[in-house]
Structure 1
Amino acid sequence: MEAPIRVLMITSEWPTEKSPFAVPFLVQQVDFLRRAGADVDVFFFRGAKNPLNYVKAWCRLQWEYRSKWKQYDLIHAQFGQAALIPWPKKLPLVITFHGVDMLGQLSDTGQMTWRGKLLVWLGRLAARFADAVIIVSNEMRQNLPKSMTLHMLPTGVDLASLPELSKDEARRQLSLPADERLVLFVGNPKDPLKRYDRAREAIDALNRRLPVTLVLGWNMPHGDIIKMMHACDALIVTSLQEGSPTIVKEALACNLGIASVIVGDVVERLAGIEGCEVAADHAPETIAAALEKVLLHGGRVKGREAIQELDERVITDKLMRIYRGVTRHGRPTYQLSDRPFVSTERR
């Protein structure tokens, strides 16, 4: 029996005691990789835009893993900044860029900051030395060399685990009003790139002709966010910058109508789905008009059938093929294990 692929995953984003609900899509990916038979360890550090934290992470990695490198087949850096840590490169390196790390940090006015430019430059540099580069949306291609081979692999959705709830039952479980039009916003309301204030402005504009209530989904268990998608009548997305927003794919999996600005890969995801609308610009009234169309459409949309290719099992299969392509594990296909999930607490 062939030994499993052994992966050291390095990431600057991971759940902590202060942020227990962070990056659920990444935790899910690690769980599915383990179900697929990969042996995954997670090395987490918090960069917090402080160069000293990166130096500390580099030192800790060298110290903790100096006798362990031969235990792994590859390193997978999640987010471009994590690719700065495993140097000098001792193993095949896979990098996944998720958004800001390759699109650059924007200011509140939409201008690239100097930190954003530096992050993109460092990401491009790391990508040149990587054995495989993964992007989650086509928008990122503009900041990478055209000659570079890129793998397009958006974050996935675990379709099999999503509960089936009626709107009435979901509202009852969450103690939400039964007789109001509810619009869901998911994201940190203090994050200027998510633009919660813009969502509120759009809701205020819409309320002049159609009564709606904005519901905030933030800092709560992922399962409750999914319940909110079943409970609400629409999702509003007003972000200034995204890579491939998982929340949009999860809303589609729950057949929830979406009104969104043009950001990330949202246009591609919503194309052809009746009951979903893309605002032509970021003005509150334009967003309100798109949201009004979604709400007046009524009922659920046919979103789940549109994202079958983004099922986490399909995404994991593609990721495992990339792993095999950069290591000595050359099997062309594999089958997902039926074993229960293994805890992500491996460190």
Structure 2
Amino acid sequence: MAFLLPNLAGGGAERVITTLIRHLDTSRIKASLILLNGRDNTFRALVPEHVEVTDLQKPRLRQAMPALLGLIRRTQPDVVVSTIDHLNVGAGLLRPFWPSQSKLVIRATDFLSLDSRRFRWLMGASFRNADAIIYQSEAMKRAFSERLGLGHLSHRAIPNPVDIAEVRRKAAEPTEIPMDPHRINLVSIGRLAPAKGFDILLDAIGRLERRDLAFHILGAGAEAGSLNRQSEALGLVDRVRFWGFQSNPYAVLARADGLVLSSRFEGFPNVVLEALACGKPVLSTPVPGIEDALAGVPGCVVTAGFSADALAQALEVFLERGRTQVPQANVAGYAAERIARTYEDFLLSVEAGRGR
């Protein structure tokens, strides 16, 4: 079975797929990996040696499609698993032109894709060519099925895997990012992009009068400059630090007092599960699917919507709790070994023509 990714950059989808591949039972599924362009290979070391990696060396999807089609026709994998929605569209459009015995399973990744009328039309047209679709949550399954008219397809909601043992091992490693013992240290992790809502987060912090707060933002992206300027304009330089992309965010999480997720949109926020695996409390905006991830951790979801005022009010309550730990058993249902078995069963059923 071939898993299709644009690259091995340090993103959530790349981490999910490499985690999944590491935990597949090789006696049931022989996995390979197809990359559009392998130059950005942050996660290359996470791919097991026994997994064959094919690099199409094409920087853009449009350029890669002929090469991808040729590869699938030559190798005829039993199942092609595509993830990241623009790549899913390309794979769906190619599906009628490759061998019928090579099934296509699409893993939907982002609610944001549904907000563009043009891209929604493209997804509907291409996803209907798939043999099955995997969603990251029941909320995503409902949204995509209803808005794209995909109810006739074989589809399954399967949450993302978390390598709990690996998270905890890396959490014990040292980090150069300092924590102020005289303050409550909170962490946010993600691409510096509009979907992650860091602008709302900074506005929310600016509304708080507490000086006992130290905020650590881990991530890189196109909004780095504007977010730094916003932080300076709000007078937050003594409370907010930007640390860029961190290959081991778990060591930072383990030493912090909690995680704040300020996203406007998420497919499924793995970082929340990783924080819980470190025993850390989480405050999150009400992105779809978050209730499942935070089941048993009451009062951790902003209930008043996506706004700086709502997040500031929730932060006040969150900070009043002080330093707390949460039961690490909350993430047991997302253990990579368990999720990998679910993927195996579903993919093998698709290969056999059952799908559901």
TM-score band, normalised by shorter chain: 0.7 to 0.9
Structure 2: distance between partners of 1:33 and 1:126: 28
Post-superposition Cα deviations, 1:27-51, rounded to whole Å, max 9, x if no partner, equal: 21222226675322221226xxxxx
Residue 43 (structure 1) aligned with residue 37 (structure 2): no
Secondary structure at the aligned position of 1:77 is classed as strand
Query: Counterpart of 2:217?
Result: 216
Residue 162 (structure 1) aligned with residue 167 (structure 2): yes
Query: Counterpart of 1:11?
Result: 5
Query: Counterpart of 2:125?
Result: 125
TM-score of the two chains, using structure 1 as the length reference = 0.76
Matched residue count:
298
TM-score of the two chains, using structure 2 as the length reference = 0.74
Structure 2: distance between partners of 1:199 and 1:35: 43
Deviation for aligned residue 1:261: 1.1
Structure 2: distance between partners of 1:260 and 1:163: 22
Query: Counterpart of 2:68?
Result: 61
Query: Counterpart of 1:134?
Result: 134
Cα distance 1:8–1:157, how it changes in 2: closer, same or farther (>3 A)? same
Query: Counterpart of 1:108?
Result: none
1:1-347 equivalent positions in 2, closer than 5 A? 7-12=1-6, 14-16=7-9, 23-33=14-24, 38-45=29-36, 53-69=60-76, 72-83=77-88, 84-85=90-91, 86-87=94-95, 88-90=97-99, 91-100=102-111, 103-104=112-113, 112=115, 116-140=116-140, 141-144=142-145, 145=149, 146-163=151-168, 174-189=177-192, 191-206=193-208, 208-209=209-210, 211-218=212-219, 219-222=244-247, 224-274=248-298, 276-328=300-352
Structure 2 runs not aligned, ≥5 long: 38-58, 220-243
Contact 2:20 2:340 survives alignment (8 Å): yes
Secondary structure at the aligned position of 2:121 is classed as helix
Percent of counterpart pairs with the same letter? 20
Query: Counterpart of 1:342?
Result: none
Structure 1: distance between partners of 2:24 and 2:287: 28
Flag as ranges the 4+ runs of structure 1 deviating above 4 A: 19-22, 34-37, 169-173
Q: CA RMSD in A?
A: 2.9
Structure 2: distance between partners of 1:165 and 1:29: 18
**Which residue type is aligned with residue 136 of structure 1?**
Q
Post-superposition Cα deviations, 1:117-136, rounded to whole Å, max 9, x if no partner, equal: 23222222233222221111
Secondary structure at the aligned position of 1:199 is classed as helix
**Which residue type is aligned with residue 143 of structure 2?**
Q
